[in-house]
């Protein structure tokens, strides 16, 4: 997401916000972009990975949000991570894809959690 009042023709780092914690993007903070300006930071991705991959229950998933994934815009029947700050959700598929992308960038130093 972008900070309110962002000039879309001149987006700055401080205009980019994590859809899940609302934190600003900085050089020392890993960030992943989804569709339509959605973003997730490395800290939220760590929590999302724990929730949707490491500690997810088996199907059927009965506590799925009514809206689609903030990152891919699809409704998926799988575990999701929900923001406690706003109506934002990320599906397990997007969590796994974001984890692969962030891990590949050695400069970011982000690693998927093991527990």
What is each CA distance from 1 to 26, 103, 115, in whole angstroms?
14, 22, 28
Angstrom distance (rounded) from CA 64 to CA 67: 9
12 pLDDT band (50/70/90 cuts)? confident
Looking at residue 64, its pLDDT comes to 57
pLDDT for 77 equals 81
More confident residue, 59 or 25: 25
Please tell me the predicted confidence (pLDDT) of residue 46.
96
Average pLDDT (16-35) is: 92
Mean pLDDT of the chain: 87
> Among positive and negative, which fits the CA dihedral 47, 48, 49, 54?
positive
Mean pLDDT of 83-97: 92
Cβ atoms of 22 and 92 within 8 Å: the answer is: no
The predicted structure's pLDDT at residue 55:
85
**Do 36 and 96 touch, CB atoms closer than 8 A?**
no
Over the stretch 38-79, which tens digit does the pLDDT of each residue have? 999 999 999 999 989 998 766 655 555 556 899 999 988 888
């Amino acid at each position: 997401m972008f900070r309110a009042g962002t000039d879309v023709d001149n987006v700055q780092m401080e205009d980019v916000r994590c859809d899940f914690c609302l934190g600003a993007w900085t050089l020392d903070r890993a960030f992943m972009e989804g569709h339509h300006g959605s973003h997730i930071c490395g800290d939220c991705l760590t929590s999302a990975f724990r929730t949707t991959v490491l500690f997810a229950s088996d199907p059927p998933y009965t506590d799925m949000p009514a809206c689609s994934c903030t990152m891919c815009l699809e409704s998926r029947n799988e575990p999701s991570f929900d923001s406690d700050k706003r109506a934002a959700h990320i599906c397990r598929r997007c969590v796994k894809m974001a984890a692969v992308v962030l891990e590949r960038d050695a400069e970011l130093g982000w690693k998927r959690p093991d527990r």
